A and B are shown apart, each in its own frame.
Chain A
Amino acid sequence: MTVVPYIIELLQIGVLIGLAPAFVGWVRMVKCWAQGRRSAGLLQPYRDLAKLFSKDVLLAENASWIFRFTPYLVFGTAVLAGGIIPILSIDLPLAPTADVIVIVALFAIARFFIALAGMDIGTAFGGMGSSREMMIASLAEPAMLMAIFTVSLANRSTSLSEIIQVIYSGQSVIRPSLAFAFLAFVLIALAETGRVPVDNPATHLELTMVHEAMILEYSGRHLALIEWAGMMKLFLFTSLGIAAFAPWGIAAREELSAVPLALLYMIIKFGVVGVAIVLIETGLAKMRLFRLTEFLGAAFLLATLGMLAFFILD
């Protein structure tokens, strides 16, 4: 019973909370370069958050407690998920709390409440956002789970730490099923984190926005929390993908000395992922809402194929 794992745990949570905006900043930066614009720099997200925190909250008259409670809950689920997904190290005290299914469910509960908050004020946009968000989610979530299941079947566990350990112990060779699963995962991650082609985080054009439509009425610290949680969500999905498909570099030993190396690996990987995201987003255009079914259907198909491939080939 050492204290080390707990320190690592806290470190990891700190990293999540601290670096999530930076990652978003990095994505924006690369995007600007790719589109030949001057970027606002890596720290712009931090400035935005700070500004929002310092502002007063303007709350619609008929906003209920749900509207006010949601930001905290969303933030909380994101942080908790960050405590469970192995980002720096695999033996986290919180790891056994929840396996990957639970993590998906944590995102789901956040989404559930955001959608409710969207309907709380009673505007057309809010309802529209919630409706679309839930539709996308109801297609994305099963695909997500299928992709994850393929991985966890391959490694005979649904707990991420265990998966990584199995991978480290070299019991799992590289499998075709995982390739399918990975592809599916990428598509879904785009959908879940509200990136192009599913949603455009930058837009406020009424009829195309999904996530933004729900949080239209938020302001001040509430908005800050939600934005921050959104950044963390991107961060978490990335690290989830890393943990599931390319965990090499995550510390397996419970020593503080292993952490810096793991951090280094992490930063490199995130850099790469950021570039990849930009490439996708600049390569694709946002889809019409009802073409999303094809997009997500493809993801679902891939995930299922992955699972079948697991049973057939492996």
Chain B
Amino acid sequence: MADTSIMLLILLGVPLVCAAALAFAGDRKFAPEINILCSASTFAAGLGLAVEVYMQGPMLAGGKFFFVDAFNVYLAVLTSFVSMTTAIFSRRYMRKEREHGRVGHRRMRFYHAMFQMFIFAMLLCLLTNNVGVLWIAMELATLSTVLLVSLYRTPTAIEAAWKYFILCGVGIAQALFGTVLLYFAAEKVLGEGGEALLWTNLSRVSGHLEPTVLSLAFVFLMVGYGTKVGLVPLHNWLPDAHSEGPTPISAVLSGLLLNIALYALVRCKVLVDGSTQSHHAGDIMMGFGILSILVAAFSLLRQKDIKRMFSYSSIEHMGIATFAFGLGGQLATFGALLHMLVHSLAKSAIFFTVGHASQMHKTQQMDRIRGLFRGNPLVGWGLMFGVLAIVGMPPFGIFTSEFLILTATIKDAPLWTPLLLLGLGVAFAALLRKVQPMVSGEIPPNQKPMKAAHLPVMLHMALVLIIGLYIPDFLNQWFHTAVGLLK
């Protein structure tokens, strides 16, 4: 118990402290290294916590304020891991950006501080036991990234950030209303005060919660957190924000923030299901999921900006995961959990390579990016394999999850499969069609060679590959316990 709370302390404390420290020293030469160091220690703490949970099962800490179970601990580890690799990537990337003179000292400080702040917010989201605090942390995550999106101060960047700010603000406000309703229903059962918002208590008594109120609450929670997940038609902020910010931020936004929002959504769904004993929530989520898949897939066909394209693909994959959670059942849920994991790994890897590619060509326009295989094999093959992974080609992990989800779908909801098939097919064709010319062919004149950050890309792709071929036992057990929780 005690040491666990220490682990938690490190896990949450380190990013905060670093944020403070980097707010002053963020522009020094060694700042990126510090950034990496902090993220690394966060990751270590995350691993420690994971081991604890693996040993002792779910645990409460900090006076019921924190709750750690299989579901959120694996996301916590994932979050800290990806943030670490992103920090490694951003070292090279941001140095290049400074050489190009796109960011100055103050912005570097700001960037590093906010990066750590963002990580802190996400971890808080995951680990807190209090639904209200969950909401606060979510808002915090938004606020800490808004100004990172507009880091470059270009008109489009500011526009994107503004949309991000307003839309997510409004959305999150809806979520707060949902939370209020949740509290309203909960205090009938659990009495007033902080107890009534603790997830552990809520899930314990979810059977007694008032169904009408909860279904009402779910609408607002769905719209609120759905906005952050980037579900169609609440997604419009996402492509802008992801394409305009610095690439490391796009990587963590795509790879992590969406996951976190989905996590919140799923937590709420569990409560609602427990209360209403119906499949309404599931149906709603499936609807949103399918809509997102289709719209994203068809939007993919007409993209010109590379980062924008991949943010649409994030929408598509979040749609798949949402759909699977909505579908429920052992296979689908397992698939969805796996999907969240492998998607964030693969997608952030893709964004790393994309960042390098666009730096090499000084543009994000895809028709001006060519010949990556020859120009920089790591970037080229990394991008190619990343895309093959993301479109669900074995032996990468995403295939495994999609395999489970699709088969579960045709078992439990066969009528949805044609739409799913259509969406996946179109997305596949669209992405391949765009990526193929970029990686192949001769080196164009506007391409400048550069040293790419090898480690993050390779690490991520290796993990995705391994998970595709062999899921270690502990991961498996986690997933199964998580599936049990979400039943």
Within the complex, are A and B direct neighbours (CB within 8 Å)?
no
Q: Which residues of A contact B (CB under 8 A)?
A: none
